[in-house]
């Protein structure tokens, strides 16, 4: 059993896993490692790391700025693998990459996945890779023991949901809003409808993300039956607010994760 599967298998009934997102290398390598440690210490069940990219089309302004900070600090895929290796020295929490296909393609699919495997990555979500073009990636991922994770949106047809579910492993990332990442006021009815619709087609764990930022949001997702709650922009906002104040950043991140965990 892989680390991601073990998290969902061990989760108490009706209590979703908390999946915390940060951009690797934001605002710099050393602080990024401290951020990851703080999220894990606060109770994050699965750590999702964004591989910084110059054109992150799925992300809103908050995460785009984090990507810019990471790139300005000189973060490369090599840096990201180094960050993962540092985290792995002290934690077995599942780690997932959120990346874009150009990064994987430029490095070489086989090389990227092999290096990810050796660093200790458990899953990879390529945000701009449609399932119809995922054959090579899924085959390489399987050989490396890495779960291919896919996005499903409110506009995804039932036919495509079945196709995505057949190729995915680990969990499915359900996009709770129409649009890009970013903090929202509430979890939309459309997100709950999507959760129920996808549930009819797969037994894979279903995690809701995009726009989830408060304990109230987390409770709504839990009550709706989500297997996981993904929080990104709210975490990145704490990082941005406390850039240059790493001790306070670490304290605030731990407190935020703890609050979200209590809510679910």
| Domain spans in the chain, listed from the N-terminal domain onward | 3-263
Out of 3.20.20.70, 1.20.1600.10, 3.30.499.10, 3.30.930.10, select the CATH number for domain 3-263: 3.20.20.70
CA distance 76 to 86: 16
Q: Give, for all 264 residues of the chain, the pLDDT tens digit.
A: 899 999 999 876 668 999 999 999 999 999 999 999 999 999 999 999 999 999 888 788 999 999 999 999 999 999 999 999 999 999 999 999 999 999 999 999 999 999 999 999 999 999 999 999 999 999 999 999 999 999 999 999 999 999 999 999 999 999 987 544 444 445 566 888 999 999 999 999 999 998 888 999 889 888 889 999 999 999 999 999 999 999 999 999 999 999 999 988
Which of the residues 26, 28, 45, 59 is marked catalytic? 59
Q: How far apart are the first and last CA of the chain?
A: 25
Catalytic status, residue 159 = no
CA distance 188 to 193: 9
Catalytic status, residue 55 = no
pLDDT of residue 178: 56
Q: Which parts of 131-262 are beta strand (E)?
A: 147-149, 151-152, 172-175, 206-209, 228-231
Q: Global pTM? A: 0.94
Which of the residues 45, 48, 115, 250 is marked catalytic? 48
pLDDT of residue 228: 95
What are the tokens at 257? 């994760």
pLDDT of residue 114: 98
pLDDT of residue 59: 83
């Amino acid at each position: 059993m892989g680390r991601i599967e073990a998290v969902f298998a061990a989760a108490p009934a009706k209590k979703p896993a908390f999946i915390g997102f940060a951009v690797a290398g934001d605002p710099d390598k050393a602080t990024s490692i401290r951020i990851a440690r703080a999220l894990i210490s606060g109770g994050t069940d699965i750590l999702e790391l964004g591989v910084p990219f110059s054109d992150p089309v799925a992300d809103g302004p908050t995460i785009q700025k984090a990507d810019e900070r990471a790139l300005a600090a000189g973060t490369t895929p090599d840096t990201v693998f180094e960050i993962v290796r540092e985290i792995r020295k002290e934690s077995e929490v599942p780690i997932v990459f959120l990346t874009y296909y150009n990064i994987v393609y430029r490095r070489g699919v086989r090389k990227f996945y092999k290096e990810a495997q050796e660093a200790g990555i458990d899953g990879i979500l390529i945000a701009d890779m449609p399932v119809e073009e995922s054959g090579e990636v899924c085959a390489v991922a399987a050989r490396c023991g890495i779960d291919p994770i896919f996005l499903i949106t409110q506009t995804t047809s039932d036919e495509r949901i079945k196709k995505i579910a057949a190729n995915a492993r680990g969990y499915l990332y359900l996009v709770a809003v129409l649009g890009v990442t970013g903090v929202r006021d509430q979890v939309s009815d459309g997100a709950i409808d999507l959760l129920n619709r996808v549930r009819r087609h797969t037994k894979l764990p279903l995690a809701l993300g995009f726009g989830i930022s408060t304990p109230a949001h987390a409770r709504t997702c839990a009550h709706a039956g989500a297997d996981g709650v993904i929080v990104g922009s709210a975490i990145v906002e704490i990082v941005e607010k406390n850039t240059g104040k790493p001790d306070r950043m670490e304290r605030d991140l731990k407190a935020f994760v703890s609050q979200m965990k209590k809510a679910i």
